[in-house]
Amino acid sequence: MVRTYYRGPAGIVTETHFVRVGDGRTFPLSELRQVGTTQHRGAYYVPVVVGTVCAVLAGALVGLIVLRPWAWAAGGAVVLAAVIAGRFLLARNRLTYTLQAVYRGAEAELYSTTDATGFAQVCRALRRALENR
C-alpha cells in the first residue's frame, strides 16, 4: 500500500509520485531534482507602487508649494485618492507561490497558487516524501 502524504485540491503527494489534480500530470519522485520554491508578484506591482508614490509626492508638493487653504485640501485629496487606489490595486495583485523542480532534464512547474497555507502544506508533504524515499 502506497503512503499518502497529502491529498487536497492542489494535488496528491505519495511516497512515489506527485500528481497535479488540475491536469492529472504525474511526476515520479525518483525523477525530480533540484526541487525549490519561488515567489513573485504580478506584472503590475512595480508600476502601481511607483505611481502611488509619485501621486502622493505630487499631492504633498502641491500643498507645500502653493501655501493656500484650497491647495492643502487639493493636495490632501490627491494623497488620499492615491493611497486608496494603490491599496486597492495592490490587493488585487497578490503574491504567487510556485513549486518547481528539474524533471527529466527540464524545469517543470509542479504547483502554483496564491494560497500561502495550502502551498506550505504541499511543500511540507513533498519534502517529507522526498526525505523518506
How buried is residue 27: exposed, middle or buried, by Cβ count under 10 Å (0-12/13-18/19+)?
buried
Per-residue model confidence (pLDDT) at position 32: 93
Contacts of 30 (CB under 8 A, 6+ apart): 16, 133
User: How would you write the pLDDT of the chain (133 residues) with one tens digit per residue?
Assistant: 788 999 998 889 999 999 988 888 899 999 999 999 999 887 777 787 888 888 888 878 877 788 787 878 887 888 888 888 888 877 777 889 999 999 999 999 999 998 999 999 999 999 999 998 7
Per-residue model confidence (pLDDT) at position 79: 82
Per-residue model confidence (pLDDT) at position 68: 80
DSSP assigned state of 20: E
104 SS3 class: coil
H/E segment holding residue 77: helix 69-92
Tell me if 11 sits within 8 A of 23, measured CB to CB. Answer: no
